[in-house]
């Protein structure tokens, strides 16, 4: 199953993706589902989820939360809004109580490793506390993604991919390939935690063709 795990819609002021168009284009290019992960709020994800149900296309709900350790993709925690800089430890407690997962988004952006950006003690704490790493991000340089992949491998963390799309033309550039079908957020959390997934670029997946969006 092919899922873009990191998409923003017009609910976020930084994005120009209409959720109805998101569903149409995701289906055309060959994705099986998308995850909507707005910044600090879930209203946009809830709206896209409702539209997806109407259209018969799976939209999964997540959120991107800014912490002192950077942006975290969170799945399995349903909370309307978050403060702009939620302390990581507080977020971790909420997610664990809800049975969800935390994934650092674009952890090596600017081609700097987690240890270089955060310092060794903070980096080690973070890597012990999260459930996976976003190792392919559509807004990153290839070098940054390769560095994230190396860190995930070194620490035994599953690697996931997402486009981080803010424009439709960016959708599906990076995605996550799941071994099993995903029907809801509970399935998503379970399969990522079990490591039954891997990150990919669109051109590595035969079923995905980004050019179909504009035909």
Q: How many Å separate Cα 181 from the centre of its chain?
A: 17
Buried-exposed string 103-142: b where 16+ CB fall within 10 A, e elsewhere:
bbbbbbbeeeebeeebeeeebeebbebbbbbbbbbbbbee
Distance, CA of 132 to CA of 41 (rounded, Å): 21
CA distance 199 to 202: 10
Whether the per-residue pLDDT at 189 is higher than 90: the answer is yes
* pLDDT band (50, 70, 90) for residue 11: confident
94, 101 contact by CB (below 8 A): no
pLDDT, position 113: 84
SS3 for 121? helix
In order of 16, 200, 206, the CA distances from 177 in angstroms are: 26, 7, 12
pTM reported for the whole predicted model? 0.96
Q: Which two tokens stand for residue 186?
A: 């509970």
pLDDT in tens, 104-149: 999 999 867 899 888 999 999 999 999 999 999 999 999 999 999 9
CA separation for the pair 15, 56 (Å, rounded): 24
Residue 84 — pLDDT band, cuts 50, 70, 90? Answer: confident
Tell me the C-alpha distance between 82 and 150, whole Å.
Answer: 31
CA atoms of 108 and 163, how far apart (whole Å): 15
Name 200's bridge partners: 175
- 3-state DSSP assignment of residue 213: helix
Average pLDDT for 47-73: 97
- Helices (H) and strands (E) counted in the chain, each on its own, are 7, 9
CATH class of the domain comprising 2-214? alpha beta
Helix runs in the chain, H state only: 19-29, 43-55, 88-98, 114-118, 120-129, 142-154, 185-194
């Amino acid at each position: 199953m092919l899922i873009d795990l990191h998409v923003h819609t017009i609910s976020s002021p930084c994005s120009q993706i209409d959720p109805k168009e998101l569903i149409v284009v995701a289906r055309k290019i060959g994705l099986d589902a998308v995850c909507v992960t707005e910044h600090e709020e879930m209203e946009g994800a809830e709206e896209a989820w409702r539209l997806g149900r109407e259209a018969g296309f799976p939209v999964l709900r997540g959120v991107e939360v800014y912490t002192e350790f950077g942006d975290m993709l969170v799945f399995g925690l349903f909370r309307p809004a978050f403060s702009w800089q939620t302390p990581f430890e507080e977020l971790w407690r909420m997610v664990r109580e809800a049975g969800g997962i935390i994934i650092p988004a674009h952890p090596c952006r600017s081609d700097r490793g987690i240890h270089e950006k955060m310092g060794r003690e903070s980096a080690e704490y973070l890597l012990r506390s999260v459930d996976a790493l976003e190792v392919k991000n559509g807004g990153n340089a290839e070098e940054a993604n390769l560095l994230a992949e190396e860190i995930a491998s070194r620490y035994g963390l599953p690697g996931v991919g997402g486009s981080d799309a803010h424009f439709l033309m960016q959708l599906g550039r990076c995605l996550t390939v799941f071994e099993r079908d995903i029907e809801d957020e509970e399935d998503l959390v379970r399969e990522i935690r079990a490591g039954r997934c891997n990150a990919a670029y669109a051109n590595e997946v035969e079923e995905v063709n980004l050019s179909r969006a504009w035909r």
